[in-house]
Amino acid sequence: MRTLLTLSVLGILLPAVATGQQHPDGTTTPGVVAHPLVQMQDLAAAAPASSPQLQTPPAPTPPPPTRRRRGSMVGYIEDATIESKVRLRFDTAYHDTAPDRAEFFYAKCGCYTGLPVNHPAYDPDAPGPRPGAANDLNFQQVFLEGEYAIDSRVSIFGMFPIRWLQPQSFIPDTGGTFPNQSGVGDLRMGVKLAAVDKDDAALTVKLQFYLPTGDPEQGLGTDHSSIEPAVLYLQRLSNIVTLESQFGVLLPIGGSAPVPTAADGSFSGNVIFYGIGPSFTVYETDRVQFAPVLELVGWRVQDGNQTAAEGDASGTNIVNLKLGARAIFGQGSIYAGYGHVLTDQSWYDDIFRFEYRFSF
């Protein structure tokens, strides 16, 4: 019985005991398996007392945004690029000799309300400044414009203008004079659509609407709405030269009665406008670009009237030469320029323009 019990105990212990001996240092002879308790002790001894937490490396800082193409460099030709931006523009102009021509700048002279009732040009509804007809006018305008790019090919924009007028002289026998005026002009808004959108070229259709928000009696607006479709083009010819151009037409919606009042048509008229201007980058670093700009801008009045000599505005051609320069620094830019009339007829003889633009 004792022998049988001994053999039973050995049968239980043998699977858990190494087939060889375990050394005092805890190692075993090759080919020998250690007792499970010894293996657990070895693993516990081998495990580090504590494991440091793995730290997630910080996310890399995204690179600053880069513009796909250089922004427009011109100052008078409309901008063909589509991007989100704000623009603050200031104009000061001298010697506008026909400010109500085709109701392009302001509404038909209010002096027609003071004519005898039986006069063929009598118009009790003439909305413009009164009582006299200005034939020499200086003015300043500030435009705050915002444009939002829905994507790279579509944007919407709006423009808020403020105007100041200083009449210098009046046509004799037109009822007297009126004082300096100032206030909000006609609001503008519209949409731009890119027909061509390349790194070195842009062809854009611009549709602009004019709203008669300016007080016509103060010379701040035209007293009618207008729509202005235009095609704008930008082509980068080289790393130095960029060419920009425009072509469009201002189409009045409504307008004052013509002169004489019983005639067909309207005092307001369609005005075609066009322009072309190269810019020349003469200095460029990673942060700054500087480019002189030369622009030729023109208008042709298709129809309408004016209070100035001859009364008929149709066929009037006006061409201006504009000289300026733009400096681009990062996402902002500054333009300064001067314009002078080249033709006998004009919207003004001289104009100075200053502009700040910031693109997002």
What CATH number has the domain bearing residue 142? 2.40.160.40
Q: Is residue 152 part of a domain?
A: yes
Same domain, 219 and 316: yes
Query: How many distinct structural domains can be found in the chain?
Result: 2
Statement to judge: residues 25 and 174 lie in one domain: no
d(CA 321, CA 315): 20
26: left (phi over 0), alpha (psi -120 to 50) or beta: left
Q: Decide: 225 and 189 in contact? Cβ < 8 Å.
A: no
Is 297 contained in some domain? yes
Give yes or no: residues 245 and 323 share one domain: yes
- For CA atoms 231, 232, 237, 241, the dihedral sign is positive
Instruction: Compute the half-sphere exposure of residue 252: CA atoms within 13 Å on the CB side of its CA.
Output: 27
Q: How many whole angstroms from its chain centre is CA 184?
A: 21
Domain identity same for 21 and 131: no
Q: Which among 156, 62, 81 is positioned nearest to 359, based on CA atoms?
A: 81
At 179-220, the pLDDT tens digits run: 999 999 999 999 999 999 998 999 999 999 999 999 999 999
Can you say whether residue 315 is alpha, beta or left, with left for phi > 0 and alpha for psi between -120 and 50 degrees?
left
SS3 for 118? coil
Question: Are 248 and 157 in the same domain?
Answer: yes
CA gap 347, 300 in Å, rounded: 11
CA angle 122, 128, 129 (to 5 degrees): 105
DSSP H helices in the chain: 2-13, 36-46
CB 108 within 8 A of CB 98: no
**Domain match, 16 and 124 both:** no
Whether 275 is covered by a domain: the verdict is yes
Which position has the token pair 């609407």?
A: 209
- What string of pLDDT tens digits covers the 360 residues of the chain? 444 444 444 444 444 444 444 454 545 444 444 444 444 445 445 445 444 555 666 666 655 555 555 689 999 999 999 999 999 999 999 999 999 999 999 999 999 999 999 999 999 999 999 999 999 999 999 999 999 999 999 999 999 999 999 999 999 989 899 999 999 999 999 999 999 999 899 999 999 999 999 999 999 999 999 999 999 999 999 999 999 999 999 999 999 999 999 999 999 999 999 999 999 999 999 889 999 999 999 999 999 999 987 789 999 999 999 999 999 998 999 999 999 999 999 999 999 999 999 999
Q: Considering the domain boundaries, does residue 235 fall inside one?
A: yes
Shared domain check, 30 and 161 = no
Residues 230 and 337 in one domain: yes
Residues 163 and 17 in one domain: no
Q: How many other C-beta atoms can be found within 10 angstroms of the C-beta atom of residue 185? A: 25
Token pair belonging to 245: 């151009």
C-alpha distances in Å from residue 126, one per residue of 131, 186, 217, 340, 352: 11, 18, 9, 31, 31
* Beta strand residue intervals within the chain, DSSP E: 85-96, 134-151, 154-170, 181-184, 187-197, 201-211, 225-236, 241-253, 271-280, 283-284, 288-301, 316-329, 332-341, 350-359
Q: Identify whether residues 140 and 202 lie together within a single domain.
A: yes
- Which domain, by its residues, includes 104? 85-359
Determine, yes or no, domain membership for 134.
yes
Closest CA to 90 of 358, 357, 268, 359: 357
DSSP 51: P
Q: Residue 101 carries which DSSP code? A: G
Tell me: the pLDDT tens digits for 28-48? 444 444 444 444 445 445 445
Which tokens go with 291?
Answer: 């480019």
Whether residue 37 is found in the same domain as residue 147: no
Q: Which residues is 191 bridged to in the sheet? A: 156, 207
Residues 6 and 119 in one domain: no
